[in-house]
Amino acid sequence: MSSQAKHPPALTPREGSSAAGPPVQRRPRRRRLGFLEPKGQIARRTYLAIAAAAFGLIAIAWCVATYGGFTKPFFLPAPTDVARAAVRLFTEFGLLTDMRDSFYRVGMGFLISVALAVPLGILMGTFKQVEAFVEPVNDFIRYMPVPAFIPLLILWVGIGNSSQISLIFIGTFFQLVILVSDATAHCPKEYLEVSYTVGASRLAVLHRVILPYTMPMVFDNVRVAFGWAWSYLLLAEIVGANTGLGHMIMESQRFLRTDNVIAGVLIIGVIGLIIDFTFKGAYRVLFRWTEK
């Protein structure tokens, strides 16, 4: 036997390894996130600072336009005039009562809409037979202008809270149904097939797979629809209301009180901002497992 067969050639060390030990693992280089990174995360403090800067820019532009004399007070009152109008509305004109009545109308109309639209939308997104039965009628109605229902509601349910609640319901229900149905329909079919493979029943698949996957998106859709409900408030309180934020704004418009109008609009905006942050906080508590 030759000497080459008795003594095998020496192994040369591979790149990145030493001759006396195992290969050395190189630490992966951490990629630095730049400004405006797609799908990037920012600290909570940074988020609040950017939001405050946005409101600050709007306030500065408002001050420059009014105190600088670029607009007349009739068209755009100064911030101090609007603040005085808001204090006067609270102390002399019972704005707290208007806010209470508006909350009741929006809340009742929206809760009825959610109670009916969410289960119906889940059934539509789960079963094609339900979708075929409901979706064409729902799409037919949801493209109708909501103000066109005002005279009909006066005839059907009269004036007062019932007509206003009904109008808010019409403005949110048909839109929310299609949003919930679309969110439910996006549940991956692979999840259902795996569930059936391990022996899950249809009811178990609906309860343990479809609903957990769908509810975070449904909750977000409900948050968006609540904003629509408040946007229909002014329209709803035209119908035979003698209280409410929308009624106050309409009365101020008739008497050319622009400061009261802007104060009322800003109050509705602050209420909406508080409600929206409440929804976001509830989302983080209820759906901790989601990436969002």
Buried b (16+ CB within 10 A) or exposed e, 152-184: ebeeebeeebbbbbbbbbbbbbbbbbbbbbebb
Q: What is the radius of gyration, based on Cα positions, of the chain?
A: 30
- Mean confidence (pLDDT) of the chain: 85
Backbone angles phi and psi of 187, in degrees to 5: -65, 125
State pLDDT tens for residues 81-118: 999 999 999 998 889 999 999 999 999 999 999 999 99
Domain boundaries, the chain: 48-77, 86-286
Residues in the chain: 292
d(CA 267, CA 199): 54
pTM of the predicted protein model: 0.79
pLDDT band at 4 (very low <50, low <70, confident <90, very high): very low
Buried b (16+ CB within 10 A) or exposed e, 66-83: beeeeeeeeebbbeebbe
pLDDT band at 33 (very low <50, low <70, confident <90, very high): low
d(CA 90, CA 26): 67
Structure tokens at 262: 């802007």
| Fold of domain 86-286 | MetI-like fold (1.10.3720)
Greater model confidence, 56 or 191: 56
pLDDT band at 31 (very low <50, low <70, confident <90, very high): low
Q: CA quadruple 122, 124, 127, 133: dihedral positive or negative? A: positive
